[in-house]
Structure 1
């Protein structure tokens, strides 16, 4: 009975998360609550499940709030703008340099972990350049999305936070072993960008059109400025502060949430001398921070009820009895390899909060380390983040560029899936999994 109710609960949550009518918070709170009642648990027991789940994710939620606030403030004061401007100057009118520069610019822009801000920075800045050079704008989406997905392994990125919730660990601890993989992934993506840039260059040459190499109409002024305040300190001051925050994350001597909390306080003091200006900055960045935090807390409640009620254990046990014996120990590898196709049919929340906990429960029973299982599935999935029709940031990118999602998927799908499989292989070679 627990398995049946658990599967029905999971299916309903997945369907609601995939749809457009209900917020993830509704799916992750109301449905498991009703399931626990139907299963026969008393209110006091359900309350204990909830408290257990919330306790496990509270640290992650705090980190998300203050990390998003911190990097939002850094973007507001223009910390990243000079770096992006310089890249635009360097790339010039060479398609190969443009594609490689796109990867670097997107990686820098995504340091705040927000797909929306990444596309807001990169698309308006680079699309005029791609159009003038007759380059395929879908290539721009492919490179920006893939680069952002690689950087998205950072602790304050959505996938890492969700993975940390499943494993009940600190996101920073989970991230550190992945740092070498991120560097390898960026090098692989630069190689792919170089190859695709050469293909674009050959295609453009075949057009036999005179392309004006002057690029005054896509110079520095094309870069969308973030709001820059005259009271903000010079760039080097904020750069030193950011380096100090990142160093503390690497060091791990204090929790990541507290690190960002201190960083936000110092950033406000350094850049905005008046209380009114400080509060305005917080109000400006608060919506992005609170939306992710509320989803994380709701997910904690969801997993707390499914774990505490025994539904996950029951589902895992029954699935083991149904699946062929040879497949079960490798289930995480199969799901990881299918990570990108799954992004087309499951939302990120559905994948991490409904599918992964079940798979993790199953394979750990066969001696597979829980962290290894989550690493494989996350690496396979994360590269497809911005090909998913369930990604709000992708729809923003499509709106900014005037492109179609169907054509984007057709153009990018095989490249992204192949890159995902290559990254899983790299993780094995590095020894991460």
Structure 2
């Protein structure tokens, strides 16, 4: 009975959010609540499950809120402006350098884990260059899509936050073992950028180009820039990343302090702080509220033992001699799964079942999380029709979504395959 209700909960949740009948936050709360009542649990019991679930995801919600605030502050302050200007000066009129430069800039900007912000920044810098040099704009949308993929595995991206909260782990355990895979993915993306660049250079040749990135900044963006604080911001960011990698300070606490310090250093005046908070507050609230709603979902499914029952059912269907392949199969199918499942549906609906099934066979459930992150709504999100930022990307590049998918899908799948191989070789996941 519990197994049936568990699968029904997930199926109904997937149907409601894929068909857009309910918002993700609403579905995460109401669907498991109704199923919990049907399973015979009292409101008090369900309330205790909900509270336990919220407590589990609270550190992740706090991490996400203040990580977005930190990197948004750095973007507003102009930390990455000299890098943008340097890349543009370097590429000049060479299509090869332009395309490789697009990849490098996208990766740097995407350190904040926000696809929407990355697409807007990179497109504002490079779209005029692509138009002036007559480079195929499918290359622009494609390389930007590829470049955000490996970097979207950072612990503060919305996708990683979902995996962390679902598996009730921390950023260090899920992220650090995947670092070699991320590096391999970055190498693959740069290779593809070089390949495209050679083809466009051969087709178009090298021409003269004069263009200034700062001409595209709005008046408010210019007012928020803090060029005199560049080195302070750079040292603060390097220190933050080193501390994160070493695990010296709990990640949520680290970003709470770093976000507050960054905001105060760059914008000591209250009106300026309010501008930054208002401009990014909506995104921060939407993502963090989703994480806490996910706590309700996972709390009820876990507390009611529905997940355990579903895992037991799946275990009976998987031949024991093939169980060791589960992390690898999860990794290989993770990128195509982005075309079928939203990140919420996959990480809150599919991953818990896979991880519990892995546990039944003596496999570390964290391997399922690491495997899933090698493609599902990381490499896959900029080609998926289920994410709004995909439409922003193709809209800004002025290309058709179908053309974009046809052009870059095989290369994106290649990223996941390369990262999966690296993960297997370095022990992030095992056969």
Instruction: Determine if the TM-score, normalized by the shorter chain, exceeds 0.5.
Output: yes
* Contact kept? 1:121, 1:224, Cα under 8 Å: no
State the Cα distance separating 1:221 from its structure 2 match. 4.0
State the Cα distance separating 1:324 from its structure 2 match. 4.1
2:7 counterpart of 1:7: yes
* Contact kept? 1:181, 1:427, Cα under 8 Å: yes
Q: Secondary structure at the match of 2:346?
A: helix
Aligned to 1:250: 245
Question: Where do residues 215-226 of structure 1 align in structure 2 (5 Å cutoff)?
Answer: 215-216=209-210, 218-221=211-214, 224=217
- The size of the alignment, in residue pairs, is 426
Q: CA distance change for structure 1 residues 10 and 413 in 2, over 3 Å: closer, same or farther?
A: same
Match of 1:384 among 368, 380, 391: 380
Distance 1:133 1:20 in 2: 41
What's the TM-score once normalised by structure 1's chain length? 0.93
**4+ long deviations beyond 6 Å:** none
* Contact kept? 2:155, 2:175, Cα under 8 Å: yes
Match of 1:396 among 392, 396, 409: 392
State the Cα distance separating 1:409 from its structure 2 match. 1.0
State the Cα distance separating 1:40 from its structure 2 match. 0.6
* Contact kept? 1:103, 1:143, Cα under 8 Å: yes
* Contact kept? 2:180, 2:422, Cα under 8 Å: no
Question: Where do residues 13-412 of structure 1 align in structure 2 (5 Å cutoff)?
Answer: 13-204=13-204, 213-216=207-210, 218-221=211-214, 224=217, 227-229=221-223, 232=226, 233-381=228-376, 382-412=378-408
Q: CA distance change for structure 1 residues 231 and 4 in 2, over 3 Å: closer, same or farther?
A: closer
Distance 2:330 2:181 in 1: 19
State the Cα distance separating 1:373 from its structure 2 match. 2.2
Distance 2:405 2:277 in 1: 36
Give the alignment's Cα RMSD to 1 decimal.
Answer: 1.9
What's the TM-score once normalised by structure 2's chain length? 0.94
Q: Secondary structure at the match of 1:146?
A: helix
State the Cα distance separating 1:372 from its structure 2 match. 1.7
Aligned to 1:425: 421
State the Cα distance separating 1:230 from its structure 2 match. 6.4
Distance 1:264 1:319 in 2: 43
* Contact kept? 2:185, 2:416, Cα under 8 Å: no
* Contact kept? 2:62, 2:252, Cα under 8 Å: yes
* Contact kept? 2:327, 2:371, Cα under 8 Å: yes
Structure 1 window deviating more from structure 2 (269-278 vs 147-156): it is 269-278
* Contact kept? 2:9, 2:35, Cα under 8 Å: yes
Distance 1:322 1:174 in 2: 28
State the Cα distance separating 1:15 from its structure 2 match. 1.7
* Contact kept? 1:231, 1:273, Cα under 8 Å: no
* Contact kept? 1:332, 1:360, Cα under 8 Å: no
* Contact kept? 1:333, 1:377, Cα under 8 Å: no
Structure 1 window deviating more from structure 2 (30-39 vs 253-262): it is 253-262
Distance 2:203 2:20 in 1: 39
State the Cα distance separating 1:214 from its structure 2 match. 2.0
* Contact kept? 1:77, 1:229, Cα under 8 Å: no
* Contact kept? 1:124, 1:222, Cα under 8 Å: no
Q: CA distance change for structure 1 residues 223 and 108 in 2, over 3 Å: closer, same or farther?
A: farther
Distance 1:222 1:411 in 2: 31
Query: CA deviation digits over 1:284-317, x for unaligned, max 9?
Result: 2211111110111111110111111111111111
* Contact kept? 2:334, 2:371, Cα under 8 Å: no
Runs of 5+ consecutive residues of structure 2 not aligned to the other structure = none
